Amino acid sequence: MIAAGCGGAAGTSKRNPTPRDVAVIGAAVSDVVYQCQAAAAGYIAAPDRAAVKRDVDRLVDVVAEVEADARFRFPGRAQATTLRAQAQQAARSLRADCAPEQAKRLDDALG
């Protein structure tokens, strides 16, 4: 079972991540990392720009609604993470000659 939001910041209007948010975060970050690393390794000619943009759109939408530092766990994982940590992982992959303009969008969304 997905352990959604293990606590958020007091006084914030953003909510803790729901199981759906956790699924969206996991899918979007996984796809970004895959697209960027596969292109960097030469397995594909270039990342699918439309897919990368769609994934970043989803992450930006979640960042707008969810407390970035609320802890959660992905299914089957013992270690907790945060939306901020996951979005930063995606941004690092995007900055590495993949889609730096999309990395900037994530950075801007996180503030």
- The structural domains of the chain, with segments of one domain joined by +, span 19-68+79-110
Predicted local confidence at residue 22, as pLDDT: 97
Give the pLDDT confidence score for residue 89 in this predicted structure: 96
What are the percentages of helix, strand and coil residues in the chain, rounded to 5? 60, 5, 35
Nearest to 84 by CA among 2, 9, 3, 1: 9
Q: For position 97, what pLDDT does the model report?
A: 83
Ranges of residues in the chain with a pLDDT under 50 are 1-10
